[in-house]
Amino acid sequence: MEFVERGAFPHMSLPLEGLAAVVTGAGRGLGRAEALELARLGASVVVNDFGQPGRDGSGAASAAPAEEVAAEIREAGGKAVAHTGDVADHQQARELVELAIDTYGKLDILVNNAGILRDRMIFSMSEDEWDSVIRVHLKGHFNTIRFASAHWRERSKEAGGPVYGRIVNTSSEAFLAGSAGQPNYAAAKGGVVGLTTSTALALRKYGVTANAICPRARTRMTSDVFAGFAEPGAGEVDPLAPEHVAPLVGYLASPAARRVNGQVLVVHGGMVAVVERPRVAAQFDAAGGVFGFAELDEALSPYFASRPEGETFGAAEVLGLRRG
């Protein structure tokens, strides 16, 4: 891990210098890359990871993943502490935010990344498979935002004006494109977008921004998603490396992104796409002010008949990837 040289640009400070960050799910994969990037840019970091080995949330919790990343940051000259709690637990999420405040005097940046997968077709999914994924992804995002936002609101009251706050949430293109075997995950990630836009509106008067990213990366969570897709050759850049997602998180966490709020951005490799909010594709007005069945049939059936049968966006098309 290489930090930006503090003396390299005498007229500039590091973009996140003096700021304190929490990154959840930061023991591996994307979260680890994001925690390292924030530290590289000058932030003091609380590295959170519950440490279960299974991507489905199975196995005994372990402090090792979070502790190892925190140690890596400190060894490189940064500031970091580990937190090994479960962000889907309301009290443990509170303790995570409090740890940042107690350690660094405040919290400025919250990056929500923790998640699990329990894939199943909708007709086979169990209640527990549904609940567990919604709990970790969606409730986990809510829990940390709940306590971080209360901290920023209180600071704003004390300051008599806006304070510094950045939230970066993790959604997925599974919510945009659908994912046949992931109804729980797609629903949770769609919920994250709704939570993000609501939070962005609620907190903007306090100086806080909230944005969501839809990252594409080879991680433990996506090992089967990208299985069979073209691997980089010797000396070539892997566009799906988690390290290519982290710079966008660093940017969104920085003062430079003060005008970016309530946005959803797809990111991988050398590409960032700003997702436009849903637009009306067609509108039909009832002749008499209200619709009946026959008039709806006359208006809507020809419209949908003119579109390709079963028109949907498949994962490969949305991801813009090709199998090797």
Residues annotated as catalytic (active site), given as ranges: 172, 185, 189
Type of residue at 46: V
Count the neighbouring beta carbons within 10 Å of the beta carbon of residue 53: 15
Residue 39 · residue 79 · CB < 8 Å: yes
CA distance 13 to 99: 26
Q: Which residues pair with 46 in a beta bridge?
A: 22, 81
Q: How far apart are CA 29 and CA 32, in angstroms?
A: 5
Could you say which DSSP state residue 163 is in? -
Beta-carbon contacts of residue 158 (< 8 Å; ≥ 6 apart): none
CA 143 – CA 203 distance, rounded (Å): 16
Computed on alpha carbons and rounded to an integer, the radius of gyration of the chain in Å comes to: 21
| Residue 282 token pair | 């067609």
Backbone angles phi, psi at 152, to 5 degrees: -70, -40
Count Cβ atoms below 10 Å from residue 13 Cβ, excluding itself: 12
Can you tell me the distance from the alpha carbon of 56 to that of 67, in angstroms, rounded to the nearest whole number?
21
Q: Which residues contact 291 (CB under 8 A, 6 or more apart)?
A: 299
**Which residues are paired to 48 by β-bridges?**
83
Closest CA to 111 of 186, 63, 167: 167
